[in-house]
Structure formats: C-alpha cells, structure tokens
Amino acid sequence: MSIRLLVALLCLGLAACVSGPTEVAGKRPPVSPRSPSKQTALPVEVADRKVAFMVGNRLFVARADGRERALVARVPHAYSGPYWSTSAQHFLVRAESKKGGYIYVVSRDGSTVTNVSKAAGSRYDAMASWSPDGRYIVFSSRPPNENVAQIYVMDSDGSDVRQLTHGDFEAQYPAWSPDGTRIAFTGYDGNFEIYAMSSDGTELARLTKTMDQENWPTWSPDSREIAFYSDGVDGAGIWVMEADGSNRRRVTDPEVSSSAGEPNWSPSGPWIAFNCAIPPPSKICAIRSDGSGYVELFSHAGFPFWMD
C-alpha cells in the first residue's frame, strides 16, 4: 500500500481528489467518551481568518466563512498544498506530472510561480513545508539512488539540498514545528505511522505504534502537540497527541469525519481545519483541538491551510 493509494481511498467520499479536497504491533490506546460532534455556528473568533486552499490546479484564498474568495494563481499539475509561510510571504504547492514531481513557490499575490525543484536540479520531489523563519523548505523526495522516499531540506530558492533521513522506510508529509526544533513526518514500512526528529535529522523517534493507518501530522502553535489523521477500526478521523506520542485522543467523531484528511492547525489558536465531505460536494471543516465547535466552513475546496 502506498501514500497515493491511501489518499485515493480517502477521496472516495469527495467530489474529486485534485479538483476539490483530497488523500505495528501495539495495544490500541483508550478513546475518551464524548458526545457526537455537532455542527455549530461559525464563531466570530474564526470567521475572519484567512484560509488558503486548492481547487484542481488553482490556488485560492478566502475568509473562513467563505467571504472574499479569490484566485491567487494557477500551478501546473498541482497535486496538493498550499503550504503558507507568514515569514516568507509565499506558498508551497506540490505538483505531479508524467515528467516527475516538483515543488513550486508562489508569491502571496500570485505574480510569481517558481519551480524550485527545477532550480535544485530535481524532478523527484513531493510533499513539502516551510521552516518557521521561511528560509528553508523541508520536503520528501525519491531520487534514482534511493529505494524509498526520504526527507530533505533546501534553501528557499532551491539551493543547498541536504538529506535528513536515511531509513529503510518511506518518509512523506514533513511538517516543521513552529519553534523550529523538530520535524514530524509520515513513515511507511508496511503501515503508515507518525515519526518526529530534530530539525538536523537526529533523534528520530516513532510516535504512533498501532495497527491503524496514521498520516498528515500538523503541529500546535506552541509545538507541544501534533494533530494527525487515523483510520482506526472505531472510526476514521482527526486525532491529537503530545509531541512525544503520549496522551493520544480523538478530536472528531466518526459520524462527521469518515472522510477527514489533511488537517492543518491554526498558528494563532486551537482551530484545526481539514478536508471533509459528508455528504459531497467536497468541503473544508474545522474543529477546536479539544473536539468542540465543529463547523463546516465552505465547499468546493480542499487542502486547507490557515494563513493566520
């Protein structure tokens, strides 16, 4: 099973994967009882915040309540993204074509769309995210000399590429912690699990140890927690755990999150946005990290990323 297959399976409940939203042994941790998440009115605290998202190869920005929806840029063969950096004032968008995989850097106003993979001399790149200071890009890539994808980092212009992981398992979906010290990512060695390491590639640790498929890590603003997707037998959805993998708990309930994916934690508060589609068409939802305040933001959109 591959990352792409997992994404494809998750997308069955969505209108389309890239034209809307998308993608061990161990004892299962206990699930805290809670009442089902229920749709609530969009709170004032989140309505005015900006969210970036993709619709096919088009990058958009809108308020969380759907107002001021504006096209930023078209990115050739866009596959996922957009990953926003307040420091760099640019987006990252992943693209895939028959010619290979590329990472594009897109300016906030869409006036520049730069293929930084090409600048780095690569055509094997995939998922990417920014360092907190906007100076570096961490990404997944599988060059010809590697049997599986590994995690790399490069300068924001595509220069000075260096390899961080050297494992015998696939490494995907890296996410840099807001404090700059750690990088979380998805690893696949027959099962999808969440890993984390120091930003220089040392101190590698496996954080999840279940038979579930776990993917798409995203950090809390204080770097103390990680939200992620899990397809547990008691229901797929968004979960949160401490940065060391402890105190794992469900955030969304199965009845509202069977197609949940690609979570992204707001840099300025407790809100986690994610792909959802119950029922289709594709849409973006949000929920607080304690499981309260579930809301559907707007439809015909995918790959949400908070800008504030």
Q: Is residue 194 scored above 70 in pLDDT?
A: yes
Instruction: Return the pLDDT at 279.
Output: 64
Q: Mean per-residue pLDDT for 11-24?
A: 36
Rounded-to-5 percentages of helix, strand, coil across the chain: 5, 45, 50
Instruction: Return the pLDDT at 26.
Output: 35
Residues with Cβ within 8 Å of residue 274, at least 6 apart in sequence = 229, 238, 252, 257, 260, 261, 262, 263, 264, 284, 285, 286, 287, 304
pLDDT in tens, 141-186: 999 888 899 999 999 999 999 999 998 999 999 999 999 999 999 9
66 alpha-carbon distance from chain centroid: 21
Closest CA to 238 of 306, 181, 289: 289
pLDDT in tens, 219-236: 999 999 999 999 876 678
User: Does a cis peptide bond (omega within 30 degrees of 0) precede residue 82?
Assistant: yes
Question: What is the pLDDT confidence band of residue 278, given thresholds at 50, 70 and 90?
Answer: low
Domain 3-306 has CATH 2.120.10.30: yes
